[in-house]
Amino acid sequence: MALLFLLWILLIVAIPCSLLLLLLSFLVRPRPVKIPIKGRHVFISGGSSGIGLSLARLAAAEGARVSILARSPDKLQEARQSIRLATGVDVAVFSADVRDAEAVRRTLDEAGPVDVLICNHGVFVARELDLYDVEGLKFTIDVNLTGTFNLIKAALPGMKNRGQRGPGSIALMSSQAGQVGIYGYTAYSASKFGLRGLGEALQQEVIVDDIHVSLIFPPNTETPGFEEEIKTRSEITRIIAASSATMKADEVAMLTLNGIKSGTFSVTCNFNGILLALGSASLSPQRSFLVAFLEVVGASLMRLVALYFQWSWYKTIEKWHSQKNSK
């Protein structure tokens, strides 16, 4: 009897799950794709340091023709030498400010048609909204969001006319602060949340051109930019942000490149990122019916986990302000 009861329970669970998996395998869009790197032109903004430099090394090591973009000519030459020493490959370097649409257009014209565009540039200052001046806010939005728009717009004509070069990719470097708002990240989160809307809409526009969008959500990452960011963080921001472990740039770069090659839309880098992606999937594109299954069946549980994190953060905020006011 016990065995029959167990089999009955398994059937009750297995049949609906199998039907759901079958339905999801039909529904998921865009369809699965593999994007090669070897022999392709990979263009990386913010490529002179941090995650961008690590991505350039990896792509060069895999046989890509790599171009990197940054503002500082000196740092670009240092990065070029670093990549040459690590891989034996020489990369093209371009100096431009992503906020300057005309300069970006000229750079992409000079670089030539791109197969894989990685918009990795970004700036960040941890500061509460009432401490931001208008120029600081505008700078963050202009670099992180408008600069990405400028790069894509400049690269798209060449990407759409790739001929028979195979599927293309546009990767947008967001952040876990682009999945959930964090105290002290008002301007940064606004710019990174904007990339999600840009990416979702863009994927619909370019899918007929066999171009596939990836949105990368790294946690705190050991980069020169992160070292500067820490200096501006308030104590409460440090406490809340510490809930997600710091990763090395090489680790994030490897996960990013793998996500690009598999055409994954939401590329996560650690367990917290996976939870955030499952909990905030909403109307995002999804190629994997197995991940879609987890999103569907785990939605309620993920909401419960999210509510716990929000409870923890708000308790931290209340406690911190209470202690501050009592001094």
Q: What percent of the chain has pLDDT over 90?
A: 72
Q: What is the mean pLDDT of residues 170-195?
A: 95
Please give the pLDDT value at position 5. 57
Of 75, 82, 77, 76, whose CA–CA distance to 60 is shortest?
82
- The model's pLDDT over 17-60, given as tens digits with 9 standing for 90+, comes to 888 889 999 999 999 999 999 999 999 999 999 999 999 999 99
What pTM did the predictor assign? Answer: 0.93
- The model's pLDDT over 202-244, given as tens digits with 9 standing for 90+, comes to 999 999 999 999 999 999 999 888 877 777 788 888 888 877 7
CA distances from 160 to 40, 154, 186, 194, 312 (A): 15, 11, 35, 24, 47
Cβ–Cβ < 8 Å for 195, 148: yes
**Rounded CA separation 26/5 (Å):** 32
- Residues marked active site are found at 174, 188, 192
What's the distance, CA 142 to chain centroid? 18
